[in-house]
Amino acid sequence: KPGSAETDALYAQVRAEDQQAVQQLRHELEVSEQTKHLAELESERDDLQRERSRTNAKRTELLAREKQHRVELAKLEAIDRNRLGDKITNIELIADTHVDALEVQQKRLQLDSEVSILDVKIEEIKVKIKAQQDKISQLETDDTESRG
């Protein structure tokens, strides 16, 4: 049975050169496991970046709508300042447009926050990826030196 006490006891009696081959295979297994972990981290980073792109696209769409409302609001206020149109209608249109702009701004600000949080998460995972890459490089260097 692999990993059993009996196997370990028998393995302890194996010649050193045969143990060296097993050690090399264990090392290769460790490199493979660490490389798999790196791939998982990279996949997580890629997922976060896709989510950030989608969120940012929604955010910029809302920002454009917010600006459209602000342009319309500026036009309505200019009309009112120049005493054009019906005063009551002007006041109602200005108030409605202002409320619409604020609603869009509120949604956009929420997405600003989400994008910022995703940026932090992406940077954190990039640090983990770099550390994992360094770990794998060190394992490969150790292997080269031990064969040396």
Closest CA to 121 of 40, 29, 23, 48: 48
d(CA 2, CA 8): 9
Q: Assign 147 a pLDDT band (cuts: 50, 70, 90).
A: low
How do residues 68-103 score in pLDDT, each as one tens digit? 999 999 999 999 999 999 999 999 999 999 999 999
The reported pTM is 0.79
**pLDDT for 8:** 82
